[in-house]
Amino acid sequence: MSKIAFSLIFMFIIAIIIILLSIYAYNKRLDKIAKGELRDAHSNVPEPAATAGVTYKAVLIALSIVAILSISRANGMIDSLNNTINNMKGTQHEMNMEILELQRQVAQSEKLVSNLSWQISGQDMEKKTVDLFFSVDLKQYSDLTRVTLALKDKEILLTKSTPGTFTGTLTTDLFASYDELKVCITEGNLTKVESEEFSHYLFWDVLPLPSLACSGESKDSFGKIKYNGWFSFQYQAPDKLEKVTVTYVADGKDVKTFDATSEAKTGARIDLDKDITVEKNLAIRTTVITTYGYRIETQNVITYKAEPDCMGEDYERIYDANGNLVWNNEKYE
């Protein structure tokens, strides 16, 4: 039995005893009055009804106090339970992470490939191909071990360069999209295929694609936008830049074009003309001529007035030396 239940029973017993004692004392006083032993009819012995009323109120007050204490205790228990649940959730999350790590370690331990690395060793811009040099390290191998790499529809048989290390060069499409590389390990009549992640756009490592950084503020003036600020370009291979031109595009119309080759090669800031005012949006279009003869066009909206529907005007297009479109990011998004 809980302490609260015991306290309630105890209070009820005390209340009953008080009422019974009150009835007994009141009846005894009446008996003395009837026998003439008590001449003064007024006495400090209360009537049972009054005693019962006072006792009832006292019990109600006591019950209220007990209820408040019980609610407070229950809230404390709920808080403690919530803390326990949160701790259990945290422990479960840690256990899940440990299980995932264990599964990863088990999967890794079952793999024969201990290390795989690659780098671009050459490119043919006329054929639009790129040479990838691969190096694969195996945990287990023998004189009969054969290793083949497959990247989409391209395959190559690697050669053993050092004990446990197989190398080779694979030629593949420069502008194709890749997501997975397969390593086929053959030992006699047994072949095991292991997959490695290979999410790359290889042309990003070959062509000087611009990365635009800009900063500024726009103000709404009489229903139009006035934009003040600066922008700059960063290229991974600035030595492959032949010529760079920048065009301001206001509301879909070219308003100014200028040469920015020097700023593009050095990464210097270019101050935006303060007198450019647009109604809907302002974009920067960059045209890059590379040393390969390729042309790269990118357009970035830097400010807009209404809902950003105009963000669809951003694009990145690459043309080969003959003017053929070989990459359009709108096609691959």
Q: What is the end-to-end Cα distance of the chain in Å, rounded?
A: 69
Category of 152 on φ-ψ map: left (φ > 0), alpha (ψ -120 to 50) or beta: left
What's the pLDDT score for residue 141? 87
CB atoms within 10 A of CB 245: 15
* Low-confidence residues in the chain, pLDDT < 50: 310, 331-333
Rounded to an integer, what distance in angstroms lies between the CA atom of residue 304 and that of residue 298? 18
What's the pLDDT score for residue 333? 45
User: Do the bridges between strand 295-304 and strand 281-290 make them parallel or antiparallel, or are there none, so unpaired?
Assistant: antiparallel
Cβ atoms of residues 135 and 149 within 8 Å: no
Cβ atoms of residues 245 and 281 within 8 Å: no
What's the pLDDT score for residue 332? 44
Helices (H), 170-280: 261-266
What's the pLDDT score for residue 211? 85
Give the residue among 289, 240, 291 at the shortest CA–CA distance from 265.
Answer: 240
Using one digit for the tens of pLDDT, what is the confidence trace for 89-134? 888 877 777 666 666 655 555 688 889 999 999 999 999 999 999 9
What's the pLDDT score for residue 331? 45
Using one digit for the tens of pLDDT, what is the confidence trace for 301-321? 887 766 555 455 788 999 999
Q: What is the DSSP letter of 273?
A: P
φ, ψ for residue 152, nearest 5 deg? 55, -120
What's the pLDDT score for residue 279? 78
**Looking at the DSSP assignment, which residues form a beta bridge with residue 227?**
218
What's the pLDDT score for residue 303? 79
What's the pLDDT score for residue 112? 86
**Looking at the DSSP assignment, which residues form a beta bridge with residue 173?**
129
What's the pLDDT score for residue 27? 62
